[in-house]
Amino acid sequence: MAVTTTKLDTGESLHSTFASRYVRASLPRFRIPEQSIPKDAAYQIINDELMLDGNPRLNLASFVTTWMEPECDRLIMAAVNKNYVDMDEYPVTTELQNRCVNMIAHLFNAPIGEDETAVGVGTVGSSEAIMLAGLAFKRKWQNKRKAEEKPYDKPNIVTGANVQVCWEKFARYFEVELKEVKLKEGYYVMDPAKAVEMVDENTICVAAILGSTLTGEFEDVKLLNDLLTEKNQETGWDTPIHVDAASGGFIAPFLYPELEWDFRLPQVKSINVSGHKYGLVYAGVGWVVWRNKEDLPEELIFHINYLGADQPTFTLNFSKGSSQIIAQYYQFIRLGFEGFRNIMENCMENAKVLKAGIEGTETFDIVSKDVGVPLVAFSLKDSGKYTVFDVSETLRRFGWIVPAYTMPADAEHVAVLRVVIREDFSRSLAERLVTDIKKVLTDLENRWTKATMITHVKAEENPDGGGAVVPKKSVKQTYEEIARYWKRLVDRKKTSGVC
Sheet holding 364-366, edge to edge: 364-366, 375-380, 415-420, 404-406
**Residues lower than pLDDT 70 in the chain:** 1-24, 303-312, 451-499
Amino acid, single-letter form, for residue 276:
H
Q: CA separation (Å) from 322 to 64, 198, 411?
A: 18, 41, 42
**Helix H or strand E encompassing 186:** none
User: Interior CA angle at 84 toward 83 and 85, to 5°?
Assistant: 95
Write down the pLDDT at residue 41: 85
CA 32 to CA 11: how far, in whole Å?
A: 13
Determine phi and psi for 63, rounding to 5 degrees: -85, -10
- Provide the CB-side half-sphere exposure for 223 (13 A, CA): 11
User: Is the CB of residue 70 less than 8 Å from the CB of residue 77?
Assistant: no
Q: CA separation (Å) from 157 to 138, 174, 239, 458?
A: 9, 11, 10, 58
CA 372 to CA 108: how far, in whole Å?
A: 17
The total of other beta-carbon atoms located within 10 Å of residue 94's CB is: 19
Task: Please provide the CATH number assigned to the domain covering 343-444.
Answer: 3.90.1150.160
CA 28 to CA 117: how far, in whole Å?
A: 53
Determine phi and psi for 304, rounding to 5 degrees: -125, 150
Domain 74-335 classification at class level: alpha beta
User: Is the CB of residue 498 less than 8 Å from the CB of residue 214?
Assistant: yes
Write down the pLDDT at residue 486: 60
- The CATH 3.90.1150.160 domain(s) of the chain lie at 343-444
User: Is the CB of residue 40 less than 8 Å from the CB of residue 19?
Assistant: yes
Give the global pTM. 0.87
- The CATH 3.40.640.10 domain(s) of the chain lie at 74-335
Helix (H, G, I), strand (E, B) or coil at 422: coil
The total of other beta-carbon atoms located within 10 Å of residue 78's CB is: 12
**Helix H or strand E encompassing 289:** strand 286-290
According to DSSP, residue 51 is labeled T
Classify residue 69 as exposed, middle or buried by CB count within 10 Å of its CB (0-12, 13-18, 19+).
middle
For residues 212-242, b (16+ Cβ closer than 10 Å) or e, as one string? bbbbbbbbbbbbbbebbbeebeeeebebbbb
Pairing of strands 404-406, 375-380: unpaired
CA 131 to CA 42: how far, in whole Å?
A: 38
User: Is the CB of residue 255 less than 8 Å from the CB of residue 345?
Assistant: yes
